[in-house]
Amino acid sequence: MADLKTLEDLRLAVLYIQLKAANTGDPEILREAEREFESLVDRFYREFPGFMTPRQYQTARNNYEYCLIFVDWALAHYRKSFL
């Protein structure tokens, strides 16, 4: 159950950071959002290693939508496990 909560938190955090990055004109806020996002992708890759290859991980660090594909896939997997 902790995995499911972690994934839900990660998903919401990615969406929040994506929104923050899209709605700023401040380069410093954008850089901060990028660092936060990369940190979330790193966390996902570290905590859920079976859902992403190293190459996918590198691509996901620069692409919100691509990252969310993997988070959503992991969420579906864990939700199915709890049914």
The answer as to whether 4 is a domain residue is no
Output the average pLDDT for the chain: 95
Say if residues 71 and 14 touch (Cβ distance below 8 Å): yes
The answer as to whether 75 is a domain residue is yes
The answer as to whether 1 is a domain residue is no
Percent of the chain with pLDDT over 70: 98
Residue 10 CB neighbours (<10 A): 22
The answer as to whether 3 is a domain residue is no
- Taking alpha carbons only, the member of 70, 75, 76 closest to residue 57 is 70
Say if residues 72 and 44 touch (Cβ distance below 8 Å): no
The answer as to whether 6 is a domain residue is no
> In this model, does residue 57 exceed pLDDT 70?
yes
For residue 74, give its domain range.
Answer: 11-82
User: pTM above 0.85?
Assistant: yes
User: Which residue type is seen at 24?
Assistant: T
The answer as to whether 66 is a domain residue is yes
Tally the domains of the chain: 1
